[in-house]
Amino acid sequence: MDRPWLSFDLDHTLMINPFRRWVFPEISSWLAPFLGPGDQPMERFIAERKKRLEAQQLSASYDWDDILLTVSAELGVHPPFTIEKLVRQHSATGKIWLFSDVLPGLSSLQTKGIPMVAATNGFAKYQRPVTDHLGLTPYFKDFHTPCSVGFAKPEPQFFRFAEPYSLIHVGDRLDQDILGANRAGAISVWIDRDLPAEWHELSPKERCFHPLFRSRVEEKLAREGWHSPITEENLPNYLIVSIKEVLTIWKNHH
């Protein structure tokens, strides 16, 4: 019988990284004196990233050091740090954290010997310092990232690492995790820890038939900046509120 692999998105699925609260503000403070009045440092960053996304250069849009160098070069300056170094500095207790269900959930999966991998759009050099500090790294056989795979979610090629085995992918983003997993023919599992309590009594499958499921999907996709029509490809196979629910799903497909 097939023994599916499990892959996990990292950011907002398992952990909170230091970028938004610590790394980006530090870059902003450094860049600000080189900009004109009213020019926002992070807007420069976002504009460069948007350019890469629009050019379909998905992997390059996660290469934050290259984005920093490009923006700095436009201003005729050179950063005295790398983003990789900032991430290492800020991968510290109190600045990054795990959701409380993560270690119990991953431990129970690990005791069953289920092959687990991290499948993230963050480059390994930015993710490993965080997962190392949080004690997550040992749970994963491998880290699949745009820098190792050459593709990024939601490109279906990103998920080819599990072949010839089937894959169950767990993530928080409908436009990346769920869309990519569905396009790759994997089982897609959406984690939404903010689901109202009444949904918790339903099974992860039943939640996808809740009368408000569709509107919840629409609201999340809108927050993610999705402007295209919503199709079957945007809909997860399962909806969970905790990593502890993954084992039951895995057993359904084993």
| Cα 83 to Cα 63: distance, rounded to the nearest angstrom | 10
Binding to Mg ion by residue 155, rule CB under 5 A?
Answer: no
Nearer residue to Mg ion within complex by CB, 16 or 202: 16
Q: What residue type is 171 in one-letter code?
A: G
Question: Of 12, 51, 244, 253, which lies in the binding site for Mg ion, with binding defined by CB under 5 A?
Answer: 12
Q: By C-alpha distance, which of 227, 226, 190 is closest to 210?
A: 190
Binding to Mg ion by residue 174, rule CB under 5 A?
Answer: no
Binding to Mg ion by residue 11, rule CB under 5 A?
Answer: yes
Nearer residue to Mg ion within complex by CB, 9 or 245: 9
State in angstroms the smallest separation of the CB of 106 from Mg ion: 16
Return all residues near 222 (Cβ < 8 A) that are at least 6 apart.
none
If you ran DSSP here, which 8-state letter would residue 176 be given? Answer: I
Binding to Mg ion by residue 131, rule CB under 5 A?
Answer: no
| Cα 121 to Cα 62: distance, rounded to the nearest angstrom | 7
Nearer residue to Mg ion within complex by CB, 13 or 127: 13
State in angstroms the smallest separation of the CB of 94 from Mg ion: 21
If you ran DSSP here, which 8-state letter would residue 201 be given? Answer: T
| Cα 13 to Cα 246: distance, rounded to the nearest angstrom | 12
Q: Which helix (H) or strand (E) holds 250?
A: helix 246-252
Residues 13-42 that bind Mg ion (CB under 5 A): 13
| Contact string 35-74 vs Mg ion (x = CB under 5 A) | ----------------------------------------
State in angstroms the smallest separation of the CB of 152 from Mg ion: 12
State in angstroms the smallest separation of the CB of 153 from Mg ion: 9
Q: By C-alpha distance, which of 35, 89, 41 is closest to 68?
A: 41
If you ran DSSP here, which 8-state letter would residue 19 be given? Answer: I
Binding to Mg ion by residue 172, rule CB under 5 A?
Answer: yes
Nearer residue to Mg ion within complex by CB, 41 or 122: 122
Residues 201-230 that bind Mg ion (CB under 5 A): none
State in angstroms the smallest separation of the CB of 128 from Mg ion: 16
Please answer whether residues 4 and 254 qualify as being in contact, where contact means their C-beta atoms are separated by less than 8 angstroms.
Answer: yes
From 10-18, 45-53, 92-100, 215-223, give the range in contact with Mg ion by CB under 5 A.
Answer: 10-18
Q: How many CA atoms lie within 13 A of 202 on its CB side?
A: 18
Please answer whether residues 61 and 53 qualify as being in contact, where contact means their C-beta atoms are separated by less than 8 angstroms.
Answer: yes
Binding to Mg ion by residue 9, rule CB under 5 A?
Answer: yes
Here the tokens at position 197 are 């309590």
Count residues near Mg ion (CB under 5 A).
Answer: 5
State in angstroms the smallest separation of the CB of 40 from Mg ion: 25
Q: List contacts with Mg ion (CB under 5 A).
A: 9, 11-13, 172
